[in-house]
Amino acid sequence: MAEKDTKSIDQATTEMIAKAAQDGVKVVFERAEIVKPCPIGAEGSCCNICAMGPCRVPLPKGREETPEDKKRRTGVCGATAETIAARNFLRKIAAGTAAHSDHGRRVTEAFLLAARGEAPGFEIKDEQKLLQLALELGINIGDRSNNEIAIDVGETLMNEFGKQEGELLFLKRAPLKRQEIWQRLGVAPRGIDREVVEAMHRTHMGVDQDYQNLLLQGTRTALADGWGGSMIATDLQDVMFGTPSPVHSQINLGVLKEDEVNIIIHGHEPQLAEMLAVVTQDPEMTRYAKSKGAKGINLAGMCCTANEILMRHGVPIAGNFLQQELAIVTGAVEAMVVDVQCIMQGLADVASCFHTKIITTDPRAKIEGATHIEFDERNAVESAKNIIKTAIDNFTNRGQNVRIPDKKTDLIAGFSHETINYLLGGMFRASYRPLNDNIINGRIRGVAGVVGCSNARVTHDASHVTMVKELIKNDVLVLQTGCAAMACAKAGLMTPEAAAEYAGEGLASVCEAVGIPPVLHLGSCVDNVRILIAATAMVKDGGLGDDISDLPAAGAAPEWMSEKAISIGQYFVGSGVFTVFGVTWPTLGSKKVTEHLFKDFEDLYGGMWAFEPDPIKAAHLMIEHIDKKRKALGLDKARERVLYDMAMRREL
């Protein structure tokens, strides 16, 4: 576990932690000091799947294992530490895949309602992406209407969740070589739900007891997330709400406004958020807010829902995961509207100290003490108005104890795969060619995805910002999603000017020519699939090998906390990407399982896991991997030339 001396490097956060203490309000940072992680559970050495246990089988610390220790390293049923660690790991993947995929399923349901004209207010915004999807799925276009085509697309993709046989359709998007690896290893997912169910079955007491076999199912389940549920979510969201393109906005608690009704939308699924973004613009709503003494309505996002409406509407972001309670501590939030995932139950407690209303909106996620206003896509505009009115009515209850930190940062977001393609290649010859060329000529050393959560066990935002600065300094272009993206946006890394300030000369020269930041915001956590698609496009454009595992690329989640992060990591690894996680590693209780994930996986998948809590060291593991891939491609010389040229330029 990484040492932690300060709670956050973000000043707005530190300020609000202090205010919470003054106000006597307990938030996550304080709870993390009171509740310490269980050291046995943290390393995956606790099994509680049957009532003969829970069985704890930890590795002895600070000394070699004795024969006596070895006896204590099996559960009552005889399960080994290997089986226990692998089972726990697979269950995390199953939970993460379930979360992303259930999101994808709900989006598909909404998409079908919209296509059938049963969800007024929702429509097909990106016709081109719809038609491309239809072509790809073999759906007849002819002179049929968009809605007719969309119904077929929606039904075909809905079928992916409950499919029992064959392979998920989007696996075909991957490079051929990758598909062959999946087939050879038997890890090509058949249906999304089937893999999650099988993972739960195989980790039940007394079923799969071979850690390598369990971890194969781990890959199959995770691929059902990355090339299944999450990919469906991102694609249909783009068709329905528009594919993101570059957009300017601001981030941090300073986006809240003293004289307006502040509504924060927090969670993951974008349907409600989209509708709120539209309805807050309605003059009727503004009039209503004014009638209560407010100057207007200010909508801001939190966590991945924030990323969704940032990417498509430029709606400002109030903060990332660990800032959710602190937004309420400002005393200026009339309503925090939540849907699913990453919503701390502590919100209800914090809100009870202020006037803030916590509004749950999804029947799958209620919180004791919160107000429930169900959001229904069939009645989206009315539901959204109802929620906004509730927030406006609460404005008059705002107390005197208001303090909004004077901190917000500019950022550019909206880098979808389509946008990167277009920005680099131009409107008429959209391609990844210029990116590949700049990697080949060495100006860009490689590409890194730095994603994932914030975690109260380590200094908030610190690992993200430190790692990403180190990467771009070394000419690695960084792609980001989730709370990681927000951390770096707050630190000012997502403006074009950041290139000159923080990036190495090679990367900076490319960013300046194209006009992009050195750190690109690709969206929410389901949007990690944009990275898979971008990586595949780079392979297909040529010159960088014939599989994702050949690319000079790496991934990381330095402050991860959620099971979804493990699922994402596993599908990146299973797609051929070297991926390093920070904070803590959940299989350390078994050396064999850990070795398998960190070493053997490279032979199986061409991508493997690593654990390194120090963000600088982790960045260098990624850079080493990138250099190893450059060397294999015969590109090591090109980079030396670039560096030589630059050194000469400097001497002139």
Residues forming the site for ligand XCC (CB under 6 A):
268, 303-304, 321, 342, 452-453, 482-483, 525, 562, 564
304 binds, among ligand XCC, ligand SF4, none (CB under 5 to 8 A by kind): ligand XCC
- In angstroms, the CA 555 to CA 610 distance is 10
Q: Is the Cβ of residue 84 or residue 174 nearer to ligand SF4 in the bound state?
A: 84
- In angstroms, the CA 497 to CA 472 distance is 13
453 binds, among ligand XCC, ligand SF4, none (CB under 5 to 8 A by kind): ligand XCC
516 binds, among ligand SF4, ligand XCC, none (CB under 5 to 8 A by kind): none
- In angstroms, the CA 308 to CA 241 distance is 10
Task: Restricting to residues 191-230, name those near ligand SF4 by CB under 6 A.
Answer: 205
- In angstroms, the CA 360 to CA 356 distance is 13
Q: Where are the alpha helices (DSSP H) in 35-80?
A: 39-42, 67-71
562 binds, among ligand XCC, ligand SF4, none (CB under 5 to 8 A by kind): ligand XCC
Cβ 75 to ligand SF4, closest distance in Å? 2
593 part of the interface to ligand SF4, by CB under 6 A:
no
Task: Restricting to residues 51-90, name those near ligand SF4 by CB under 6 A.
Answer: 52-55, 75-77, 79, 84
| Window of 45-53, 180-188, 457-465, 608-616 that interacts with ligand SF4 by CB under 6 A | 45-53
Cβ 593 to ligand SF4, closest distance in Å? 15
Report helix angle 615-632 to 462-473, nearest 10.
30
CA 548 to chain centre: 20
- In angstroms, the CA 123 to CA 138 distance is 22
647 binds, among ligand XCC, ligand SF4, none (CB under 5 to 8 A by kind): none
The sign of the CA dihedral 64, 70, 75, 80 is positive
Cβ 81 to ligand SF4, closest distance in Å? 10
Q: Is the Cβ of residue 342 or residue 435 nearer to ligand XCC in the bound state?
A: 342
Cβ 581 to ligand XCC, closest distance in Å? 12
CA 465 to chain centre: 16
What phi, psi does 611 have (nearest 5°)?
A: -125, 125
186: left (phi over 0), alpha (psi -120 to 50) or beta: left
Q: Is the Cβ of residue 453 or residue 532 nearer to ligand XCC in the bound state?
A: 453
Which of these, 606, 631, 615, lies nearest to 580 by C-alpha position?
615
Size of the site for ligand SF4 (CB under 6 A): 14
Q: Are 555 and 577 in contact (CB under 8 A)?
A: yes
Neighbours of 353 (CB within 10 A): 17
Cβ 558 to ligand XCC, closest distance in Å? 12
49 binds, among ligand XCC, ligand SF4, none (CB under 5 to 8 A by kind): ligand SF4
Cβ 162 to ligand SF4, closest distance in Å? 30
Among 9, 12, 27, 47, binds ligand SF4 (CB under 6 A): 47
With a CB cutoff of 8 Å and minimum separation 6, the contacts of 554 are: 446, 448, 449, 577, 578, 579, 580, 621, 622, 623, 625, 626
Q: Is the Cβ of residue 189 or residue 586 nearer to ligand SF4 in the bound state?
A: 586
Cα angle 220, 221, 226 (rounded to 5 degrees) comes to 95
Q: Is the Cβ of residue 270 or residue 589 nearer to ligand SF4 in the bound state?
A: 589
Task: Restricting to residues 122-151, name those near ligand SF4 by CB under 6 A.
Answer: none
483 binds, among ligand SF4, ligand XCC, none (CB under 5 to 8 A by kind): ligand XCC
Cβ 207 to ligand SF4, closest distance in Å? 10
199 binds, among ligand SF4, ligand XCC, none (CB under 5 to 8 A by kind): none
Q: Is the Cβ of residue 208 or residue 527 nearer to ligand XCC in the bound state?
A: 527
Q: Is the Cβ of residue 487 or residue 626 nearer to ligand XCC in the bound state?
A: 487
55 binds, among ligand XCC, ligand SF4, none (CB under 5 to 8 A by kind): ligand SF4
With a CB cutoff of 8 Å and minimum separation 6, the contacts of 89 are: 44, 214, 215, 218, 566, 586, 587, 593, 597
DSSP 549-567: GGSSEEEEETT--SHHHHH
234: left (phi over 0), alpha (psi -120 to 50) or beta: alpha
50 binds, among ligand SF4, ligand XCC, none (CB under 5 to 8 A by kind): ligand SF4
Which of these, 199, 203, 235, lies nearest to 220 by C-alpha position?
199
Cβ 241 to ligand XCC, closest distance in Å? 17
Q: Where are the alpha helices (DSSP H) in 203-357?
A: 211-224, 230-241, 270-279, 283-291, 303-313, 324-329, 346-351
Q: Are 546 and 177 in contact (CB under 8 A)?
A: yes
Cβ 69 to ligand SF4, closest distance in Å? 17
Residues that bind ligand SF4 (CB under 6 A): 47-50, 52-55, 75-77, 79, 84, 205
